[in-house]
Amino acid sequence: MNSTVVWGRRCAAALMAIMALLLVGFPADRACVAGDPETPGDGEQKPGDAEKPKDEEKPKDAIKVTWHGHACFTIEAPDGTKIVTDPFGASVGYRLPDLQADIVLVTHDHADHNSASTVRGEPVLLKGKEGIGKRSIKGINIVGVDSLHYDKDADKERGYNTIYSFEIAGVRFCHLGDLGRKLTTKQKSEIGKADVLMIPVGGKVTLDSAAVESMISLFSPRIVLPMHYKTKVMKDEDWPLTTLDDFLKGKKPDLVIRKESNTAEVSKSTLPKRQEIWVLEYEEKRPK
Ligand SMILES: [Zn+2]
């Protein structure tokens, strides 16, 4: 064989190797998994992207969930309809978010949950006892179920709490508000199932830790969103709540997903197979 033929064959072999690498992706890229903070964001292409299974692509029915702190979330449907839950007042310690919504759900009339006037967009407001019952607003079916903010009668002055459940794009959400007493079978059946459970875990004025675990077992949601716990923006003397770390003690680390963001996307097709606890960040109050 003359040297020109050998050289040509070597070039062809090298070219084939490069093409094979491009097709299967580089080994380092295979280490990226869904939810990994190293995973590239929208619009960024990396070698190997073309080979990812279809279910890892951003689903068209994605629902955006944003935690603003305490019990306040914005849940945005794929068509842009927004639900805000339990907007808090300035006294809580979090920076007041710029909220805009079509529907505001207030579980009870306490200052850390009832600041509906801060929400822009002339939303439909369901508040406390008025929120009890079934209704459809802007195409979203919402159920409000009466419950108690207290467990022992000595704490009766805390009053009542309305739990809301609603379904968006095939995903059922339930916001327990400041639930203080474990639910009865009747209340649970009125609420229905929950794929995503927003549950107060800070205790003291809401469910204690054993009752929190019992409610998580009762609903058996795919995603647990802890809320209403002590964070460093809250003053010790005003907020005798337990912390997120207290709630996470003893939980399997691989089932605790720290989003490192105040938003996350949920969709029916990408709900986790095993129950996960999703920890969202809040936006800290800016120093004065
Ligand atoms: Zn509260």
Question: Is the dihedral angle over the CA atoms 29, 32, 33, 39 positive or is it negative?
Answer: negative
Phi and psi torsions of 83, nearest 5° = -110, 130
Looking at the predicted structure, is the pLDDT value of residue 35 above 50?
Answer: no
Strand 140-148 to 160-168 pairing: antiparallel
Element (H, E) at 19: helix 3-24
Distance CA 57, CA 224 (A): 23
Say how many Å lie between the CA of residue 282 and the centre of ligand 1: 16
Percentage, residues of the chain above pLDDT 90? 74
Q: Which residue has the higher pLDDT, 16 or 235?
A: 235
- Sequence ranges of the domains in the chain: 3-35+45-54, 62-279
Give the CATH H-level superfamily of domain 62-279: Ribonuclease Z/Hydroxyacylglutathione hydrolase-like (3.60.15.10)
Element (H, E) at 212: helix 209-219
Say how many Å lie between the CA of residue 115 and the centre of ligand 1: 12
Model pLDDT, residue 24: 42
**Residues 173-202 pLDDT 10s:** 999 999 999 999 999 999 999 999 999 999
Say how many Å lie between the CA of residue 263 and the centre of ligand 1: 21
Question: Is the dihedral angle over the CA atoms 200, 167, 274, 261 positive or is it negative?
Answer: negative
Say how many Å lie between the CA of residue 112 and the centre of ligand 1: 5
- Retrieve residue 128's tokens: 């406390």
Q: What is the mean pLDDT of the chain?
A: 85
Residue 197: count of CB within 10 angstroms of its CB: 26
Say how many Å lie between the CA of residue 139 and the centre of ligand 1: 29
pTM for the structure as a whole: 0.79
Looking at the predicted structure, is the pLDDT value of residue 288 above 50?
Answer: no
Say how many Å lie between the CA of residue 38 and the centre of ligand 1: 35
Say how many Å lie between the CA of residue 183 and the centre of ligand 1: 18
